[in-house]
Every structure is written in C-alpha cells, then in structure tokens.
Amino acid sequence: MTLLLEGRTAFVSGGTRGIGAALCEIFAREGADVAFNYHSSDDLAETVKAKIEAFGRKAAAFKVSVTDRVGMKRVAREVVEAFGHIDILVNNAAVNKADNFATTTDRSWDWVVDTNVDSLFSVTKPFYKQMIRRRSGGTILNITSIGAIRALPTSVHYATSKAAMIGFTKCLSREAANFGITVNAIAAGIFDTDLGNTLPARLLEAHENWVSLRRLGRPEELAEFAAFIVSSRNSYMNGEIITVDGGTIT
C-alpha cells in the first residue's frame, strides 16, 4: 500500500519534543521529508533528525524562534531550496504556564500570547506564500486545544491563545481554498508531554474523572491521526476543528 505522505515535504514547528517530535517521526515513516524548528536543545534536534533519516527521508532542523519573522522567512526559503517544495505545514509550537488570571503578570501574558498567537503569522505566512507560488495546493494543520472550546481549569492566557488559533484556522481556510490549500486544526486534550505536565497537579489528578478513556494521550496517537489529516486521502475537509482528547465528559 502506498504510504500516506509519499513524496511530500512537511515543516513542523516545535519539532523536538512531545507531539512535535512524534509528528516528525510518523510523517517520515509515512514517506515525507521533514523539516522542523526548535528553540534550544541541539541534542534533541539531532535525535529527531536521526529518526527521520532512519526512514530514508531527508531531514532539516533550524534553531530559530517561531516569533522571529525574519528568521522564519529565511527558514521557508531554505526548506524549499533543500526539498524543492513544501506541501504540509503544522503549527505545533506552543507554551503554557500555570497562572491564575488575577495574578498573571504582563510578562507571562506576553510570553504565552506572543509564542502561541504571533507565531501563527510568523510561521504560516512565508510557507503559505511558498505553497501559493507552486500552484499545486498544500495543507496547513494547526494544533489547538480543548481548553479553547470548553471551560476547563487551564490558564486564561493559554485558552485565549488557542481560541485565537481556531479563528485563524476558520478564516484562513476560506482564503486558502482559492489556491487549493486546505487549513484544519486538531483540538488536543491533555497529552503526556512536557507541556501537558506543566498543568497544575490538581488538574492532572482530576483528569481521569472527566476523560472517558481515563488516561493522558500519547503523542504518537495524535500524530497518527494528523498524518491522515494532512494526506491526500483527506481531500474534502477544510476549516474544521477536530477534537482528539480521549473523550472529555461534558
């Protein structure tokens, strides 16, 4: 059987940890050449590159912040130069901090909103323009959160930033369709990642009571689904927000 992503190229933001690392590995297993960016850990970047290359695929890692607009323009150019084209973009990079709104500092708010919202512009625009120039379509997948949809006990700045991603997905999907580009999002529940484990202990302890599968998600479970979402087999979905959260009881 043909691999889901045979002959395609992908860029994943925040590709060295958790869901991002799983996306890189599974996309490569499904036939894609994969590039990703990261913030600090050179060792983790080399590990992810090695996993991609172990599947016989090309890999490229870029140490640049998702909020660096000039840097991300350079990355998009270099990815296309190295791989020939870009078919798939996944906006995955995100940060969170356990804050109560009444005591949230300006610095904390700006850090979360700048990273999670401003990066949508910094990362998406240069890759989107490369897809348009190629005139052969493409797909963008945004990783948002159920915290943007349901009144869960998460931080207000994080929920706000992830709600912005939903609006971004829906509006851009209308424009992008004119160029044969689809834009969708996955609203992720709580996964066993560094980010997921920054949540307050009381929330993690309560998780079993409001998720029907009674456990945290595994990064590879989301990545397996994402590989189908960005594949050509999923050709008639656009502007959708798909929940993957283990069955939140509401």
Q: How confident is the model at residue 119 (pLDDT cuts 50, 70, 90)?
A: very high
**173-212 pLDDT, tens digit each:** 999 999 999 999 999 988 887 666 666 666 666 666 678 8
3-state secondary structure of 191: strand
**Catalytic residue (one of 38, 128, 158, 236):** 158
Q: What is the mean pLDDT of the chain?
A: 93
Tokens describing residue 81? 């130069």
- The residue type found at 62 is F
How confident is the model at residue 156, as a pLDDT?
93
Helices (H) and strands (E) in the chain, counts: 8, 7
Interhelix angle 18-29/219-229, nearest 10 degrees: 50
pLDDT at residue 97 greater than cutoff 90:
no
Instruction: Give phi and psi for 204, each to the nearest 5.
Output: -65, -35
- Asked if 124 and 225 count as a contact pair (C-beta separation under 8 A), the reply is no
**41-66 pLDDT, tens digit each:** 999 999 999 999 999 999 999 999 99
158 assigned to active site? yes
- Asked if 98 and 199 count as a contact pair (C-beta separation under 8 A), the reply is yes
Residue spans per domain, the chain:
9-242
**25-45 pLDDT, tens digit each:** 999 999 999 999 999 899 999
Chain mean position to CA 128: 15
- Asked if 187 and 145 count as a contact pair (C-beta separation under 8 A), the reply is yes
Q: Which of 14, 53, 12, 1 is nearest to 35 (CA)?
A: 12
CATH code assigned to 9-242: 3.40.50.720
